[in-house]
């Protein structure tokens, strides 16, 4: 044992302080929100200290599993390496709060909402506690009795789920997540609820219920009724009685109209979600998701997310695309990231005892990806092609298999998740989630999630105190200079929102490889989401972008295609359909939108524009 310890000690020299090479944009983000500050608000961290703080806090959990202290030190170095190399970044609450005395490390929570005054008030309390500690919440309105129902105990009349939703929205408005960002929420209502039409239209006016995203929970029976132009029943969740039969296609058209108008409501295919619910027999169905919709959860569950930066695994070598992926390193990082996220569950601080108990009972983690569009650019594969979808499907299958292997390894060392005893072999009830990665992709300097490049040259307004910052896609600028078509005129032209496709001096292969999100067909967007979904046991955050001139019929076709191709949900966004948008690229005619996440919801408060979906704040107020 002494020889082993001596050998290990030789490998555990102190991590030398050296800062990662981050973009100017990343440093703005980190200074604004992530670096620790003293009592006077002065920054006291740099990126080395941040990554070291996080790595040390998460690796320290190892001591609870009876391993040698030197092994924990080695793990700390491993965690620090993948963080500082920007190969893997955890969700924002972990970066902000790990190693401190405040805040949760998880981003996603689902709370129960039962049909009684006591339960509604408890949910209001728990929303406040979760968001005080830095999390976002989701819940289902589906169990609440419809508006106008009689209440036997008081002989009164029920106010209905939308009134409850507005009340909970007001509670959320009082809270700033961990003192650093405003509360974000998701409300879901089952398609069979008698108040479904009121729910579909509750955000028709921009600014109403501003801190909630909304989605309709549907199932195959409803979608078949839409397809066959038949009716379906509305059922009172209190009495379990059918209140009326309603035309499915008419309700579907109202959902589509709302999505066309301003992107809401989205749609969640709940029966498809529950096919991957491995504890449905003991814990029931999942009927709600986190604020951005990619993480379905049971009541009182939380989930911590993290994303692998695929752009970091490109190898500049000869051969087909498979030869140009560093599979060995991807395997290593996938294992380390799975270990990291499992440790977060134990390192976490939970807002309520119920959340802690449920989270540790299922130990769900959400390992995802970002930088996919950047990887495709390096591979010279256009995003809107069948080959690109094959690349995405293959990569996600590989990551899923390696995460599963490592979760089983952890189960052998530490035990399976408590709710999975005697019937499951994994440490974690689910492993994979593709999150929007709005802010952490800025830190990593890569494209967000599995989204395509939105623009090649762009500006972001009001990041700090009214400043406007301009950015260009680093791969595009390098290619433009290397291949002789770079000019200030071209960059200015693109910064105004004009298309690369209209420039004669640009080679055709460049136009194909650097196609941007607004130029990609909605069908190609949906098919890419479907390709990744095949290996994701939770959900996927993905925006299906439409041009401003898109019709309601176009949106309808995308919703149907998402269902037909196996997606678990869908969110669409038609350019220019909201007055408040986060990122903009200038045009000669108007400002075109660039969304920060899959369901942007922008509110201006106290001189600060904030996205209620992902928490990104565009001003000096955190």
Nearest Cα to Cα of residue 555 among 167, 263, 347, 269: 263
Half-sphere exposure of 76 (CA within 13 A, CB side): 23
Neighbouring residues of 307: CB distance < 8 A, sequence distance ≥ 6: 88, 89, 367, 368, 369, 370, 435, 437, 440, 441, 449
Is 292 an annotated catalytic residue? yes
Contacts of 181 (CB under 8 A, 6+ apart): 33, 134, 610, 615, 616, 617, 622
* Token pair listed for 257: 């109209």
Catalytic residue among 185, 213, 277, 290: 290
* 608 carries an active-site annotation: no
Distances (CA, A) of 296 to 338, 439, 537: 19, 21, 10
Say which of 76, 294, 402, 581 is annotated catalytic: 294
Beta bridge partners of 434: 540
Helix (H, G, I), strand (E, B) or coil at 56: helix
Residue 213 pairs in a beta bridge with 186
Residue 438's nearest CA partner among 598, 218, 271, 217 is 598
Handedness of CA 188, 191, 194, 197 (dihedral sign): positive
Instruction: For residues 542 and 555, give the distance between their C-alpha atoms in angstroms, rounded to a whole number.
Output: 15
Query: How many other C-beta atoms can be found within 10 angstroms of the C-beta atom of residue 452?
Result: 26
CA–CA separation, 362 and 355 (whole Å)? 11
> What count of other Cβ atoms lies within 10 Å of the Cβ of residue 589?
8
Q: Which of 108, 292, 430, 597 is catalytic?
A: 292
How are beta strands 457-461 and 365-370 bridged, if at all?
unpaired
Residue 260's closest CA among 608, 555, 575, 529?
555
In the annotation, is 202 catalytic? Answer: no
What's the rounded Cα separation, in Å, for the pair 568 and 259?
17
Q: Coil, strand or helix: which one is 221?
A: helix
Cβ neighbours, 10 Å, residue 282: 10
For the chain, report the end-to-end CA distance as a whole number of angstroms: 50
Angstrom distance (rounded) from CA 332 to CA 318: 23
Tokens at 607, concatenated: 């001189």
**Tokens 């309105």, located at residue:** 141
Complete DSSP assignment for 405-433: HHHHHHHHHH---GGGTTT---SSS--B-
- CA–CA gap between residue 19 and residue 201 (Å, rounded): 49
Q: Vertex 38, ends 34 and 39: CA angle to 5°?
A: 125
Residues noted as catalytic: 290, 292, 294
């Amino acid at each position: 044992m002494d020889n082993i310890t001596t050998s290990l000690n030789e490998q555990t020299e102190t991590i030398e302080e050296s800062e990662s090479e981050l973009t100017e944009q990343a440093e703005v983000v980190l200074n604004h929100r992530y670096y620790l500050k003293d009592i006077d608000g002065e920054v006291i961290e740099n990126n080395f200290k941040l990554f070291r703080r996080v790595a040390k806090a998460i690796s320290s959990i190892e001591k609870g599993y009876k391993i040698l202290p030197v092994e924990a030190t080695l793990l700390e170095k491993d965690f620090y390496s993948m963080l500082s190399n920007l190969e893997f970044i955890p969700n924002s609450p972990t970066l902000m709060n790990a190693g401190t005395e405040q805040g949760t490390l998880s981003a996603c929570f689902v709370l129960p909402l039962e049909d009684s005054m006591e339960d509604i008030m408890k949910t209001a309390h728990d929303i406040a506690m979760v968001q005080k500690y830095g999390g976002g919440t989701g819940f289902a309105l589906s169990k609440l009795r419809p508006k106008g129902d009689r209440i036997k105990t008081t002989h009164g009349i029920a106010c209905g789920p939308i009134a409850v939703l507005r009340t909970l929205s007001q509670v959320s408005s009082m809270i700033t997540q961990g003192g650093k960002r405003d509360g974000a929420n998701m409300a879901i209502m089952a398609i069979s609820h008698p108040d479904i039409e009121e729910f579909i239209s509750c955000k028709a006016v921009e600014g109403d219920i501003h801190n909630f995203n909304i989605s309709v929970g549907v199932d195959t029976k409803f979608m078949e009724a839409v397809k066959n132009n038949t009716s379906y029943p509305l059922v009172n969740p209190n009495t379990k009685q059918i209140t009326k039969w309603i035309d499915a296609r008419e309700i579907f058209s109202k959902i589509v109209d709302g999505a066309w108008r301003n992107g809401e409501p989205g749609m969640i295919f709940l029966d498809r979600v529950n096919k991957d619910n491995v504890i449905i027999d003991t814990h029931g169905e999942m009927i709600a998701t986190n604020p951005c919709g990619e993480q379905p959860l049971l009541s009182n569950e939380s989930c911590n997310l993290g994303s692998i930066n695929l752009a970091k695994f490109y190898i500049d070598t000869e051969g087909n695309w498979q030869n140009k992926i560093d599979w060995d390193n991807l395997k290593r990082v996938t294992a380390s990231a799975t270990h990291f996220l499992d440790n977060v569950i134990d390192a976490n601080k939970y807002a309520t005892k119920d959340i802690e108990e449920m989270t540790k009972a299922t130990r769900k983690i959400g390992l995802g990806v970002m930088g996919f569009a950047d990887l495709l650019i390096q591979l010279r594969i256009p995003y809107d092609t069948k080959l690109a979808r094959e690349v995405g499907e293959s990569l996600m299958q590989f990551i899923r298999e390696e995460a599963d292997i490592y979760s089983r390894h952890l189960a052998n060392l530490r035990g399976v998740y408590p709710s999975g005893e005697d019937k499951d072999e994994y440490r974690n009830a689910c492993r994979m989630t593709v999150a929007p990665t709005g802010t952490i992709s800025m830190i990593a300097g890569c494209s967000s999630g599995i989204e395509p490049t939105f623009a090649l040259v762009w500006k972001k307004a009001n990041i700090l105190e009214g400043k406007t910052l301009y950015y260009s896609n680093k791969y595009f600028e390098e290619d433009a200079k290397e291949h002789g078509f770079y000019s200030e005129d071209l960059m200015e032209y693109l910064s105004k929102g004009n298309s690369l496709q209209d420039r004669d001096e640009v080679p055709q292969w460049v136009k194909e490889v650097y196609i941007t999100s607004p130029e990609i067909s909605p069908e190609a967007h949906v098919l890419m989401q479907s390709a990744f979904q095949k290996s994701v046991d939770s959900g996927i955050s993905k925006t299906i972008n439409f041009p401003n001139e898109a019709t309601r019929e176009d949106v309808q076709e995308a919703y149907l295609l998402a269902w037909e191709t196996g997606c678990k949900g869908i969110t669409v966004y038609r350019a220019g359909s909201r007055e408040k948008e986060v990122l903009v690229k200038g045009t000669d005619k108007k400002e075109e939108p660039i969304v920060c996440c899959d369901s942007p919801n922008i509110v201006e408060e106290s001189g600060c524009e904030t996205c209620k979906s992902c928490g990104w704040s565009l001003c000096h107020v955190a």
